[in-house]
Amino acid sequence: MAMAEPRDDRPSIAGLARVSLGHSELTVRPIGLGCMGMSQFYGATDDAESIATLRAAVDMGVDFFDTSDIYGAADGTRADIRGFEHLIGNALADAGTRWCLATKFGARLNEDVPTVAAGGHAA
């Protein structure tokens, strides 16, 4: 899929100074896109709309996306652990720019499934 042509009237953050993530050498623009709004937590999901939103964000200069493994886990169209991260990868594969994906893991939607912290201990 080809990326949409950037529109001249669309706002852009491309001119904003980049910031470092923690103590790493990785830099991103200071405005990112939180992706929970494209998950089942707000009702039915629409992959085409999510892809259009992700691509529009890239067109505006966004290069930092925040997601989680549960943002698609309960959805019939994104039913595996890769869920939304997989959709982001496919949507932005031909973006022509570098971008950063932040994620969280270990949350459970089912109270009967124990949550395990990153260190392997019960949370």
Catalytic residue list: 71
Burial track 88-106 (b if 16+ CB lie within 10 A, e otherwise):
beebbeeeeeebeeeeeee
- If you write DSSP's letter for every residue of 76-104 in order, what string do you get? TTS-STTHHHHHHHHHHTT-SS--EEE--
Dist. CA 85–CA 43, nearest whole Å: 18
